[in-house]
Amino acid sequence: MRWVAFMPLRGNSKSIPHKNLRPLAGRPLYAWSLQQAVESGCFDALYVATDSTAIRTSVAQQFADQITVLDRSPETCTDEASTEAAMLEFQQHIGFDVICLIQATSPLTRAEDFRAAREAFLEHRFDSLLTTVHSKRFFWDADGQPINYDPAHRPRRQDFTGWQMENGAFYFTRAKVLKTHRSRLGGRIGLYEMSAENALEVDEPVDWRLAEQLLLQHQRAAPAETIAVLLVDVDGTLTDAGMYYGAEGERLKKFNTRDGYGLLRLAASGVKVGVITAEDSPAVAARMRKLGITHYYPGIKDKLPLVKKLIRDWRLTPARLAYIGDDLNDLDSIAHAGLSACPADAVDEVRQQAAYVCERPGGGGAVREFCELILHHNRKLKK
């Protein structure tokens, strides 16, 4: 069977303008669920269909050759057009046995959701499947009539079995069902229940704020994979952010030998170590040579594009990347990393977003502290 994932993306939205491209916790909205689909390993191919040049460019930057981007006709991009119209158009050009429609508005979807739902789909021989969350809410229609309970005999919450609410995260559909019913659902329909937080769909500004808070909480949790790469900022992280000048104006920087030894220990364990800095300092270059760090990238003002390129070049997922930095130009990279940290004296915005705030300051052992944390994390997962 050939399984494909499909995400239709329009260039604009009325409720939240250009929401698909708007950064959410450091990444475009669409990238969250799409990344989990990639990491799930469930699909033979993954596609985005769009009418937007900006989205096409963004997908290429975020996913390189992992995602194929197709043109979406104007007829399927109107406010009146159904999602099924985009799916049927896709079916005319791409062959598959099962299609997974992924909704960009459900950024809390996890790779394990795709895996578990696929297993249930195959085990029970469903023709289509939708995702749900369990709800114990009481519903009423617009005319003031109860839908799912009798107000005269109001059940206790613990006695109320509740309902399964369709949350729109993703759908599985066999090719024959889509072609015959012209719908994502038909034939023998299955349900896959997701966690309660997945009731949230990002359709309104208030949803955006809640989703961002939840995603940042997830990022602060330790990743379930071993760390393969550590990327380190310099000024304020490997140094104390001080700049020292001699009589002739030559700039010097102060490094901590314990930080250096921590990086050497990490490299000896098999973790790749890289250093990224906005400055291009001979003093830093000399320190990198002393430590034998060959993955040294000076003069990088915008760090996130390089971080993404390194992830692609080294064939990693973001979950296997660790990053430590202290200032605003590190925020995007911290949000993108599976495990992030900052020195104790980092700026407030970074302290709020980093998964781990070191007890020690920049240039005073913070990097060594984070290296030891990574070593412990990797040892624990390898047991």
Closest CA to 276 of 223, 237, 240: 237
Cα radius of gyration (the chain): 24
What does the DSSP 8-state code read for residue 71?
A: E
The residue behind tokens 């000399």 is: 286
Residues catalogued as catalytic? 154
Distance between CA atoms of 151 and 304, rounded to whole angstroms?
A: 55
| Selection from 153, 202, 105, 342 nearest residue 333 by Cα | 342
Distance CA 115, CA 111 (A): 7
Read off the amino acid at residue 93: H
DSSP 140: B
Token digits for 215?
């995603």
What end-to-end distance do the CA atoms of the chain give, in Å? 36
DSSP state of 239: B
Q: Angle, nearest 10°, between helix axes 366-382 and 257-268? A: 20
Residue 238 and residue 362 in contact, taking contact as beta carbons nearer than 8 Å:
yes
Q: What 3-state class would DSSP assign to 270?
A: coil
The region, left, alpha or beta by phi > 0 then psi within -120 to 50, assigned to residue 21 is: alpha
